[in-house]
């Protein structure tokens, strides 16, 4: 009698397994079994449970480099010459500066050289200079009175003065940044809020690199 019972149980299980898609009252699925008793000398590792989810170790962004630590970077590839005013024109910098500099109707654009452009709107002036990465790291990141500018989407420092390259310092605000191994300096003066305008332009410049 016992042998008959076992045989019937196997037959039922096998029949249900072959008709998983046809069953209307549930399915019998094979479930892998794991012995709860480790073999002699075998250790069972138990993974810790984290109720808040997996712990990520990703780091968003890079810390600002320390200019006192010498880091030898690979040489930059050759980059085709470009006109700074043309590049910035593609991002409507003149129009945005005019609006940010007190609502002026338009800003005049003046090319200072191939990699520098000046915008003037009313009493507001902005100069944007594209500079090599090593110039920013070895000069602007070493200056006295600099502060991190976290609201710029790049590695950036700020100076509470209009400190455009090759010009005398004056009232205003200047941001120096490095992004994707290209540097830039954005100096703003004569606007209702020079720092806010410099941050706005610096984010546009970072996008242009």
Q: Which domains does the chain possess?
A: 84-208 (3.40.1000)
Alpha carbon distance 103, 95 (integer Å): 10
Q: Is the pLDDT of residue 78 over 90?
A: no
Alpha carbon distance 140, 61 (integer Å): 20
189 beta partners: 125
Both tokens of residue 137? 């790291």
Closest CA to 185 of 205, 200, 169: 205
Q: Is the pLDDT of residue 205 over 50?
A: yes
Q: Where residue 152 falls among pLDDT bands split at 50, 70, 90?
A: very high
Q: Quickly count: other Cβ atoms within 10 Å of residue 196's Cβ.
A: 14
pLDDT of the residue at 10? 40
Q: Where residue 21 falls among pLDDT bands split at 50, 70, 90?
A: very low
Q: Is the pLDDT of residue 179 over 60?
A: yes
pLDDT of the residue at 67? 61
pLDDT of the residue at 103? 77
How large is the average pLDDT for residues 168-172? 95
How large is the average pLDDT for residues 128-148? 94
pLDDT per residue over 28-69, tens digit each? Answer: 555 555 555 555 666 655 555 554 544 444 444 445 556 666
Alpha carbon distance 119, 201 (integer Å): 11
Q: Is the pLDDT of residue 22 over 80?
A: no
pLDDT of the residue at 191? 96
Q: Where residue 175 falls among pLDDT bands split at 50, 70, 90?
A: very high
How large is the average pLDDT for residues 120-138? 95
Instruction: Report pTM.
Output: 0.64
pLDDT of the residue at 17? 36
How large is the average pLDDT for residues 175-186? 95
Alpha carbon distance 183, 176 (integer Å): 7
pLDDT of the residue at 154? 86
Q: Is the pLDDT of residue 13 over 50?
A: no
Q: Is the pLDDT of residue 12 over 70?
A: no
């Amino acid at each position: 009698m016992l042998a008959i019972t076992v045989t019937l149980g196997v037959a039922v299980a096998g029949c249900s397994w072959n008709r998983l898609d046809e069953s209307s009252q549930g399915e019998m699925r094979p479930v892998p079994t794991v012995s709860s008793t480790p073999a002699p000398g075998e250790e069972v590792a138990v993974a810790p449970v984290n109720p808040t989810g997996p712990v990520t170790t990703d780091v968003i962004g890079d810390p600002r480099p320390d200019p006192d630590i010498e880091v030898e970077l690979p040489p930059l590839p050759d980059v085709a010459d470009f006109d700074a005013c043309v590049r910035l024109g593609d991002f409507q910098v003149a129009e945005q500066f005019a609006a940010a500099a007190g609502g002026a109707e338009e800003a005049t654009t003046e090319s200072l050289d191939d990699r520098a452009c000046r915008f003037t709107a009313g009493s507001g002036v902005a100069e944007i200079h594209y500079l090599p990465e090593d110039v920013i790291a070895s000069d602007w990141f070493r200056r006295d009175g600099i502060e991190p500018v976290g609201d710029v989407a790049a590695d950036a420092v700020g100076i509470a003065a209009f400190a455009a390259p090759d010009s005398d310092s004056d009232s205003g605000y200047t941001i120096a940044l490095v992004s994707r191994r290209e540097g830039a300096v954005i100096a703003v003066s004569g606007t209702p809020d020079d720092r806010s305008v410099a941050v706005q332009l610096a984010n546009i410049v970072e996008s242009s690199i």
